[in-house]
Amino acid sequence: MATSSSNGDALPVVDLSPFLFAGDDDGARDSATAAVREACVSTGFFRVVNHGVPRELMARALELSAAFFALPDEEKAKVRPAEGSSSSPLPAGYARQPAHSADKNEYLLLFNPKLGLDLQYPAEPAGFRDALEECYANLTGLGLLIQDVLNECMGLPPGFLAEYNADRNFDFLTPLRYFPATSAEETNGISAHEDGNLITFVLQDGVGGLEVLGGGGGWIPADPVEGSIIVNIGDVVQVLSNNKFKSATHRVVRKPAAHRHSLAFFFNLHGDKWIEPLPEFAGNVGEPPRYRGFKYDEYLQLRMRNKTHPPSRPEDAVDIAHYAI
């Protein structure tokens, strides 16, 4: 079976084995592709299994991440390239959300290890850096695979997205730690948002709290299922598809008495790329474009400003509606 909705799982589940192992018939690929398409036009959120990323690596990376975030603040603060010393697309390394932010988490922002940026990867705990680099490589491979599936779902010429999004230097990996909820009212871990990139992968520990906004307006839990990876579609795909494919609205609700750890990987477009609805979803089908064109880096910087200088009113944060026509 290519797809299933396993017992009690609120998310569509897509089995990627037909794409990874030779010998599978086209029918299994077609039904997995159809399941991805259905998820993309409804919520932009699904779960993948048999994705090829080793279970052992996922568990090891999350465990070492918990050990890193348990280090004293002054140790964590060392994992930060000096201001102006680095050429990363966004500020790399360790950061904690500002105290006045509604988001209650701390994170590492890690770019392609091949960029050779000093001090963005932690030296402690032992083995963490290796695990992160392995995750980076594995999740890049998964991004390339899902991108090809999306290309098919969108009915684009073969290899179109792979060529449009061929540069891998703006992808980033973020280990995150959410603080335990302190009261029944104070549970926000990450406010409802959409991701700016193409495709996001989330690996999570057993605590739970990630939720996606369903078509009917209710929040659907993306419960932890060992070995599975959560996939969500981001703004780049929503703009290219002229709103046909949804950039998933999601949030993290904090639980009492437990830190939550996750690893999110953002398969992303290079900042120099121009982005606007593709003719296949606009002019060619008689639809007006729903977004004006923009250089992607402008949007990335505006989004980072939301984090470093959170506006006092959440509705003033810049999101993709900024470019809507």
Ligand X SMILES: O=C(O)CCC(=O)C(=O)O
- The footprint of Fe ion (CB under 5 A) covers 195
Distance CA 199, CA 245 (A): 12
| Measured distance CA(85)–CA(191) in Å, rounded | 31
Contact call for residues 295 and 86 (beta carbons, < 8 A): no
Residue 45, class by beta-carbon neighbours within 10 Å (0-12 exposed, 13-18 middle, 19+ buried)?
A: buried
Interface residue with ligand X, options 103, 195, 205, 280 (CB under 6 A): 195
Q: According to the binding rule CB under 6 A, does residue 262 interact with ligand X?
A: yes
3-class secondary structure, 34: helix
Residue 173 contact, options Fe ion, ligand X, none, Cβ 5-8 Å cut-off depending on partner type: none
- Among 252, 269, 275, 278, which residue interacts with ligand X (rule: CB under 6 A)? 252
Site for ligand X (CB under 6 A): which residue of 139, 150, 239, 264? 264
171 binds ligand X (CB under 6 A): no
Least distance CB 118 / Fe ion (angstroms): 27
**DSSP helix, strand, coil percent of the chain (3-state; round to 5):** 35, 20, 45
Site string for ligand X, 205-224 (x = CB under 6 A): -----x--------------
Instruction: Name which of 41, 39, 49 is nearest 6 in CA terms.
Output: 49
Exactly one of 190, 199, 282, 300 binds ligand X (CB under 6 A); that residue is 190
Please give the Cα distance from 108 to 196 (Å, whole number). Answer: 18
Give the tokens for residue 198: 């193409």
From the list ligand X, Fe ion, none, pick the one residue 17 interacts with, judged by a Cβ distance below 5 to 8 Å according to partner type: none
- Choose one: 4-12, 162-170, 202-210, 315-323; the region binding ligand X (CB under 6 A): 202-210
Of all residues in the shown chain, the one whose CB is closest to Fe ion is: 195
CB of 201 to ligand X, least distance (A): 10
265-278 burial, b for 16+ CB within 10 Å, e for fewer? bbbbbbbebebbbb
Q: How far is the CB of 211 from ligand X (least distance, A)?
A: 9
Contact footprint for ligand X (CB under 6 A): 174, 176, 190, 195, 202, 204, 210, 250, 252, 262, 264
